[in-house]
Chain A
Amino acid sequence: MYVSYKWLQDYVDLSGITANELAEKITRSGIEVEGVEKLTEGISGVVIGHVLEREQHPNADKLNKCLVDIGAEEPVQIICGAPNVDKGQKVAVATVGAVLPGNFKIKKAKLRGEASNGMICSLQELGFESKLVAKEYAEGIYVFPESVEVGKNALEELHRDDEVLELGLTPNRSDALSMLGVAYEVAAILGRDVNLPEGKASEAAEKAEDYISVVAEAAEDNPLYIAKVIKNVRVKPSPLWMQARLTAAGIRPHNNVVDITNYILIEYGQPLHAFDYDKLGSKEIVVRRAKDGEEIVTLDDAKRTLSSDHLVITNGTEPVALAGVMGGANSEVQADTTTVLLESAYFKGSTVRKASKDHGLRSEASARFEKGVDPNRVRAAAERAAVLLQQYAEGEVLAGSAEANTLKIEPAVVEVSIDKINQVLGLQLKSEEVVDIFTRLQFEAVAEQGQITVTVPTRRGDITIGEDLIEEVARLYGYDNLLSTLPVGSTTQGGLTQYQQSRRIVRNTLESAGLYQAITYSLTSEAKASQFALEVREPLPLAMPMSEERSVLRLSLVPQLLEVLKYNSARQNDSLAVYEIGSVFLSTGKDQLPEEKEHVAGAVTGLWVNHPWQGEKKPVDFYVLKGIVEALVDKLGINDRIEFRQTERDGLHPGRTAEVLIDGKACGYIGQVHPIVEKELDLKATYVFELSLESLLAETAPLVYEAIPRFPSITRDIALVADQEVSSGHLLSIIKEAGGSLLKEVSVFDLYEGERMEAGKKSLAFSLKYFDPEKTLTDEEVVKAHTKVLEALEEKAGAVLRG
């Protein structure tokens, strides 16, 4: 809502308060003022000029040479390119030395050889927004009425010496969508009075009811419809002050009739509509739900197909307006209109909202109806419009009005106790202070034994419960006057859950290992959604996505981590390690919430070790990533429940992928991105992992101290020859099983696959550490255990000591 500071003074005395001071006060007590615009900011030296002569520029087809009286001793010559400039016009002239918006200074100039001493201005050049310039002047200069005086300040003649406050209204404060609403608010803040507009049109002998009858068939959608008839109107431009006020409010002037309806819309917050009575084609107004498939061409010349959800004004047979949203083109007021049918009605918010939404048509009118207009202003607005039509369109107002009225107006009565107010706000106000605040708001308030009963005017439909009243008290009392305290009462133990703590550990572990945390979008494209997914399901799509790129919920974190690598790689950061912790979404059926599973994924590309001056440079490989995952499960104390198994997965290198299992159940994977995919993404060798965080963090073992060994251990190293296909993991598990309780640690310390080996064979060397916590081991005991190991290796895997 744009509020003209000058206009507001019609209703509230603003003496002693500048627009900026007022803005601050309004902001601090309830409605945010998003800006204050001085309409003449950066403009000077623009006067009314009279075009005495106009002739074609001798050297330019599209230019005019004008002689303009600007109230100076001599008329000045001005070259003007506007197509509509002509002899006899009163125009706005930026004289030499004038400044226009954008710090555009007017200087003496020569245009194609002719002197030009100033500029004849369009409204746009005077800082008007194009969309607010009346259509007839949109493409050229503005022409003043005859009556203006040459040499006067043109901006003052345009009533531009004003400031406009832009209110950012929250949905509950639709009462401030009118000048009167803002006036009540400002009056309450300042403790001043509200002056309402006065006057009544003198009525003709003829009755409106003789011209029109009104039937509201859909009474629930339209409980009140008032039709007034104004005869013999003269359609012409509205007075400059009215045009100026509409422009300040953000509405483009049209003609006096339309401008008056818009003026009332802004003044009362009550949308009106003016029909050309003669074009209605009947003597009745019937308000009803549209028939499915019925059509109307609205004022914007768009043909709209209606349904029974929409309310229409009809002439008894066909629609003439989409109720509360926009009038029909067939009954539009135009220059030749003489009799106006003026509509002032109360339409149900949700009905208007539906129509406005379905047709993508949001108008000043629909915005107000949707939020609920003040039922008490429907009639007052119609009467006020009649006064203005009489005054500024020379109309003859017929007696009375035709109406359909089933509207019951009941102001809300809301109660709240002074104790409750004080408890909620943490204050110690007295009943009288609170009643005084309501009185400033022009609410009727009575305090009786600590109970305050407030009759809320219908203009404030947002106030329905005690808490709403408390807010009124708080904002007018001033939030600055609240104390600062902390909650008292029962103590609570703050903290993270076990899961939340562990998740922080996961972050810290991965970051210590060199991975940066990334956060990517949960929405992705259908193509990417299920790539790399741990668990493949039909991806969950949005009903109305904004783009294909963000149309379904992801099933894996990896595709977007790869995007991150690609993005960075293209910017000279081709060695990079990132991880993400985030949810994937598994559909469980229509109209069910999906299963959201938190995953952790990582992606590493390029060089892992890069310390060139000491000759150390090493690209990432499978074992780098595996080491990171191992460090993670180590940290979580679940390393002995984890197993890695050779596997194949879509999108990954078929020979370099491992399934990760916890307690024998799959919980993730590690692998190299398939070289084809790497090439598509323009990445060097890239390794990824994705693990179900919930599986990893499901159970944690308690930490129990284990005694430090008092006896020495004995280490035996063995080099084995085995078939290529035999995995080290397999040999390791055989060794562990056969080694018995004395075998404490086994590790791989060498792998040889080369020409010195028999074809199809490889050599793997293990280091076995034997140890007895109770005593020093004897050689015999070790030999016994070790022999068992060697026998088992040969028997179960065909692995023998290397000769």
Chain B
Amino acid sequence: MQERLKELQTEALERVNTAGDLKELNEIRVSYLGKKGPITEVLKGMGKLSAEERPKMGALANEVRDAIAAAIESKQKNLEEAAVAAKLAAETIDVTLPGRPVKSGNHHPLTRVVEEIEDLFIGMGYTVAEGPEVEKDYYNFEALNLPKDHPARDMQDSFYITEDILLRTQTSPVQARTMEKYEGKGPVKIICPGKVFRRDHDDATHSHQFMQIEGLVVDENIRMSDLKGTLEVFAKAMFGSDREIRLRPSFFPFTEPSVEVDVSCFKCGGKGCNICKKTGWIEILGAGMVHPNVLEMSGFDSKKYSGFAFGMGVERIAMLKYGIDDIRHFYTNDVRFLKQFSIHE
């Protein structure tokens, strides 16, 4: 009997081992462990055994049954895993095919530059001031120390609508308007971006419409060194932390003293290259101390208050920063141009 059980075990394990699929395995389970299976048969003959042998034989029979069941279970797991693996293998895809495009546009490069500058100055306590594109002669010129027959008006031929109304030639009228609103009380700290217009024929370096961004600070005890320090912060933020600036004397009717500001060439670092025309410096903006006439005209006491102002062409900054060679690109809106400005630097 004992031998018969051992035989059954060996035979069953052998069959489990060679079972090819779950169906065959199930047949093996039924045939060995079922109620009509050989082990049950063997156990029916237990009555003939002595009382000592009976429990031994019962234990052995259980052992055999468990061994077979365990073998079946293990085999079943193997077969199932293999089946899943086979199924997944059949589901393989080409992961190098392109994904479904997610639609995305981006800022125009001029907006990108404007927002970058706005954010830089907001961090230094400035607010963003805006004003109309169509402006009164008074705000565009007179309030900025440019009376009607001032020769400096030649510097920027204008688009007039009537004698007193024109397309603004600079964002400076926003400064005049803002100062007026403050009613002679500082501090004023603003940055003014916007579109401006001049009578120029459009070509690679001229555009009848372009963007400016200007800054203005008016408070007690504002010094020219504050202007220099502020512009240094700006130059480093926009063009790299190892940039330096230099101020060159210049003239604007609304500032005195007036300067033009150069930044050390970010291409060659000051050694001289074609970008900086071999000088090591690139002109980026105009600036100066607010002219006392401008302060007074906008209601500020020029004995008590002083201020600085600076202004730059946004296209120029963008052209320098990104190496763009033709100002017309900004207004043609060729998508091959626009989409290049999607990357976050």
B135 within 8 A of A: yes
**Segment from B26-34, B55-63, B67-75, B228-236 that makes contact with A:** B228-236
Among B39-47, B84-92, B157-165, B319-327, the stretch in contact with A: B157-165
A-contacting 9-mer, from B2-10, B14-22, B267-275, B329-337: B329-337
Residue of B nearest to A512 (CB): B104
Known: A493-B125, A496-B128. Contact between A486 and B233, CB under 8 A?
Answer: yes
Q: Are B161 and A567 in contact (CB under 8 A)?
A: no
Q: Does A645 contact B (CB under 8 A)?
A: no
B115, B122, B256, B331 — which one has the most chain A CB atoms within 10 A of its CB?
B256
Knowing A170-B250, A465-B292, the reply to whether A614 touches B100 (Cβ < 8 A) is: yes
The reply to whether the CB of A15 lies closer than 8 angstroms to some CB of chain B is: no
Size of chain A's interface in residues, with CB distance under 8 A?
Answer: 93
**A487's contact among B197, B226, B247, B256, by CB below 8 Å, is which?**
B226
Give the complex CA separation of A512 and B342 in angstroms.
11
| A 546-599 contacts with B by CB, 8 A | 546, 550, 553, 564, 567-568, 571, 573, 576-579, 583, 585, 590-594, 596
The answer to whether B135 touches A593 (Cβ under 8 A) is yes
Find out whether the CB atom of B97 lies under 8 angstroms from the CB atom of A350.
no
In the bound assembly, the distance between CA atoms of A577 and B101 in angstroms comes to 15
Distance to closest chain A CB from B126 (angstroms):
5
**CB neighbours of B111 from chain A (8 A):** 507, 517, 519
Does A330 count as interface, using CB distance less than 8 angstroms? no
> In whole angstroms, what is the CA distance A592 to B162 when docked?
9
Find chain B residues with CB under 8 A from A494 CB: 121-127, 189
Instruction: Give the shortest distance, in Å, between B337 (CB) and chain A (any CB).
Output: 10
Contact with A along B154-193 (1 / 0, CB 8 A): 1100011110110100000000000000000011010000
Q: Are A594 and B134 in contact (CB under 8 A)?
A: yes
A543/B151 in contact, CB under 8 A: no
A546 lies within 8 A of B208 (CB): yes
Residue B297 is within 8 A (CB to CB) of chain A in the complex: no
Size of the B side of the interface (Cβ < 8 Å), in residues, is 88
Known contacts A519-B333, A593-B135, A610-B101, A485 near B223 by CB under 8 Å? yes
Could you tell me the distance in whole angstroms from the C-beta of A709 to the nearest C-beta in chain B?
31
**A28→B248 CA distance, assembly (Å):** 5
Task: Please measure, in the bound complex, the distance between the C-alpha atom of A31 and the C-alpha atom of B150, giving whole angstroms.
Answer: 20
The answer, among B149, B251, B306, B335, for a CB contact under 8 Å with A350, is: B149
A210 within 8 A of B: no
Interface residues of A in 507-538 (CB under 8 A from B): 507, 510-523
- In chain A, positions 738-768 with a C-beta closer than 8 Å to chain B are none
In A464-486, the 8 Å CB interface with B consists of 465, 467-468, 470-471, 474-475, 479-480, 482-486
Is A613 touching B189 in the complex (CB atoms < 8 A)?
Answer: no
User: Are B125 and A483 in contact (CB-based, < 8 A)?
Assistant: no
Write out the residue numbers on chain A whose beta carbons fall within 8 Å of the beta carbon of B334: 567-568, 571
* Of A28, A487, A610, A616, the contact of B219 (CB 8 Å cutoff): A487
For A475, the chain B residues whose CB sits under 8 A away are: 249, 257
User: Known: A423-B221, A494-B124. Contact between A522 and B152, CB under 8 A?
Assistant: no
Contact among B98, B152, B186 for A613, CB-based, below 8 A: B98
Assembly CA distance A669 to B108 (angstroms): 24
B258 touches which one: A423, A471, A514, A543 (CB < 8 A)?
A471
Per-residue interface assignment for chain B, residues 102 to 132, with 1 indicating a CB less than 8 Å from any chain A CB and 0 otherwise = 0111111011000100100111111110101
Let me know if A500 is at the binding interface, CB within 8 A: yes
Q: Is the CB of B306 within 8 A of A424?
A: yes
The 8 Å CB contact of A517, one of B100, B105, B306, B332, is B105
CB-CB under 8 A from A484, the residues of chain B are 225, 228-229, 232
CA distance A553 to B133 in the complex (A): 10
Question: 6 A-B contacts, Cβ less than 8 Å apart?
Answer: A353-B149, A486-B233, A488-B221, A500-B128, A514-B105, A523-B167
Q: Chain B residues in contact with chain A, CB under 8 A?
A: 97-98, 100-101, 103-108, 110-111, 115, 118, 121-128, 130, 132-136, 149-152, 154-155, 159-162, 164-165, 167, 186-187, 189, 195, 197, 199, 201, 208-209, 217, 219-226, 228-230, 232-233, 246-251, 256-260, 289, 291-292, 306, 330-336, 338-339
Q: Which 4 A-B pairs have the closest CB atoms?
A: A514-B103, A426-B225, A170-B251, A426-B223
Given A486-B124, A493-B127, A546-B208, 8 further pairs, Cβ under 8 A: A350-B149, A426-B225, A482-B228, A487-B187, A488-B221, A491-B125, A494-B127, A568-B335
